[in-house]
């Protein structure tokens, strides 16, 4: 699978877990905080994977040009 699909899946799953942790009243209070922590970690890692750029892959490194190609005479 693509990293972007995994990131989107993580964001959706962590949002569902967060809604369950906040919305369900039958959960004990000791279980709410760990579920919210797991949801937060999944949300942040999903955003990182969703924004993963193509420049990190080894295959596409040859397509990027150098930006500092000017030479100065002293």
pLDDT in tens, the chain (74 residues): 677 888 889 999 999 999 988 888 888 888 888 889 999 999 999 988 888 765 555 555 555 566 666 666 55
| pTM of the model as a whole | 0.64
Tokens of 57: 């892959």
Contact between 35 and 17 under an 8 Å Cβ cutoff? The reply is: yes
Separation CA 64–CA 53 (nearest Å): 12
């Amino acid at each position: 699978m693509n990293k972007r699909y995994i990131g989107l899946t993580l964001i959706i799953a962590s949002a569902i877990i967060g809604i369950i942790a906040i919305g369900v009243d039958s959960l004990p209070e000791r279980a709410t905080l760990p579920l919210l922590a797991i949801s937060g970690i999944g949300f942040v890692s999903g955003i990182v994977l969703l924004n993963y750029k193509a420049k990190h892959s080894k295959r596409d490194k040859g397509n990027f040009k150098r930006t500092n190609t000017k030479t100065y005479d002293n």
